[in-house]
Each structure stands twice: as C-alpha cells, then as structure tokens.
Amino acid sequence: MAMATASSVVISRFVKLDELASGGCGVVYRARDRRSGEIVAMKCIRSYRDDCGELVDRSDFDREVAAMEACRGHPYIVQPRAHGRCDDGEAVLVMEFVGPTLRQVLRRERGGRTRRSELEVRVAMWQLLSGAKRMHDAGFIHRDLKPDNVLVDARGNLKICDLGLTQSTASPPPYSNPIGTRWYCAPEILLGSTDYDERVDAWSLGCIMAELLARKPLFRGSSDREQLGEIVDVLGVNDIKRWRGYKGQRLLGGCGPDSFLRGFFPSPADARMLHRPPLSEAGFEVLSGLLTCNPEKRMTVAQALQHRWFKEADSASLRHRR
C-alpha cells in the first residue's frame, strides 16, 4: 500500500474510535479505515510554538516515518499505513493495529504462578532480535527498546514499535545522549558516551530477555548513577573498566570484579533449589553475551541470531512463528 502524503486525505480516510494512550507529545487512537474497514492505530503528534511564534515539532516524525518505511514488510516491526501533517502542525502517523504492549502482558503474567518456559522466551527473543537486525541492516538504531515499545498480537507474536528515537547510522557519531529509558540503557549511554552504535539495542534486548525470564526488570535504578551501580553489582566492574571509552568514572554499588549473573538465572538442575528462573547453558550464553558491559565485546543481534541456542530449538516452533 502506498503511503498517503496529503494530510487531508489521511484525516478524512480514518475514523477515530477511542483513545489507546497519551503522552507529552501526542495521543494514539484506535481508528477505522473507511476504505477497507481495517482497524488501525492512529498516532497524532502535537507541535508547539516557540518564543518567536514559530511552530516546532515535538517529535522526530520524519525520522520515524523513514525508519518504518525502511523496515516495511518485516513481520516483527509494526507496519505503516499512512501519514501526513495538518495545517496546525499536528502530524499523523497511521499504523497497523496490533494489540497490547509487552509491558501490559508482563504485568498480567506477574500475578500468575507459571513462568514463561525457556522455549517461549527463545521464540520471543528470536522475533525481537530479527526485528532489530532488520533495523540495523537498514541503517537505524532504535535506541529505546523496552517492553513498552513492543506490541503483542493475538497469536502472541511480538512487534517492535515507536521508532521515534531512531538514529540513522548514515551519519557518523557523535549521537545524542541521553537517550532511551534508564532501566534498559546500555552502560556506555549511562556513562555519557556519544560514540555508540547498534549494540546499545543489543543491551536493551538482553534486559528484555532477563525480564521475560524473571517477570520483573533486572536493573531498576532511580538515577543514572544508581542504575549503573545496579548493573555493576550484578555484572562486576572488570568488564566495563576494560572498555576503551571508560574514563575512570566512579562506580556505585558493591563493585565486585566478576559477574554474578548466572546466580540470577541458574541451570535447570539448580533452579528449583535456588527458586530462580532456569536457563540452559546455551540460553545463558546469549543472555550474558547481550548483557556485556563492554560494548566492544558485546554480542550483536546478528551474532545472537546465529547462536546455537536458536539452532538447538525445535525448528518448527520457531519457523511457524516467523
């Protein structure tokens, strides 16, 4: 379907039904396409006027549209339907309607007794890693991967959404910082780096993997310094101190030298005794590879997808979901 560019066409084509979410930059509605009857999500992004009366966008609308177009057709990235700008400066982006966010699903699951199986986590991570790889291959870093920016469809498949903070890698660093959401930010972002790459997304996906297994975020700092302290409490300080970009900043936390991550996600043989979520050796290799503090040694999403954890999986269980 070709993208619509005339704002009047976009607005008249879709009928707003109800509000799905709202924030500082706009509102997302559930809407209906008058032509096809399809139910869609309609993101209306507000603008504001500066002190000189000039209209200023409150989001990187054009960048989000460009990233979505570059990823058109991928099954694990939300697909665009139409977009346009109104005379008052409001921008409208229409996308496929998917379902609740992964955050909402995890909150519902938290009250249950049964954890996701490792196979279920493996399928979910295959989808998220595949979507992120498509973005990286197209020359974009998402920069804000988190459960709130992942949607879950009726079959349980995951789709990456909210590409408003994407960074094109067509231009070299420096890139903006701070970016993203603290609990899912890579250590180099927390340390102020502007010379980062797509491996910041790999870290965020490692945080999501840990949350899928444990049903709660692994690192929950209330400030950047506290967040970094929680990270080194679990992963140790040796790795981040070997990063060439580390400038000797003081690190909060216990500051042990080595990682204790395996204790949080023990082998299936030890998990019942420790009352922790079990994780196979292959699965732990992926998790620890993604959650490597030193970005120069961190596993990329492409490397993760080639890991034996996915090759050892029931191939049919992955294939039918792709």
DSSP state of 90: -
Q: Give the 3-state secondary structure of residue 210.
A: helix
Write the Ramachandran bin of 255: left for phi over 0, alpha for psi from -120 to 50, otherwise beta. Answer: left
- Is 233 designated active site? no
- Taking a C-beta distance cutoff of 8 angstroms, is the pair 117, 76 a contact? no
What DSSP line would sit under 150-203, residue for residue?
A: EEE-TTS-EEE---TT-EETTSPSP--SS-S-GGG--HHHHTT-SS--THHHHH
Residue 94's closest CA among 153, 168, 158, 35?
A: 35
* Cα–Cα distance for residue pair 297/319, rounded to 1 Å: 30
* Cα–Cα distance for residue pair 33/13, rounded to 1 Å: 6
**Which one of 51, 62, 88, 144 is the catalytic residue?**
144
How many residues are recorded in the chain? Answer: 322
Q: Give the 3-state secondary structure of residue 76.
A: coil
- Taking a C-beta distance cutoff of 8 angstroms, is the pair 107, 148 a contact? no
- Taking a C-beta distance cutoff of 8 angstroms, is the pair 32, 39 a contact? yes
Residue 26's closest CA among 97, 121, 94?
A: 94
* Cα–Cα distance for residue pair 23/95, rounded to 1 Å: 18
DSSP state of 307: S
Q: Which residue has tokens 């780096």?
A: 193
- Strand 55-57 to strand 47-49: parallel, antiparallel, or no bridges (unpaired)? antiparallel
Question: Catalytic residue numbers?
Answer: 144
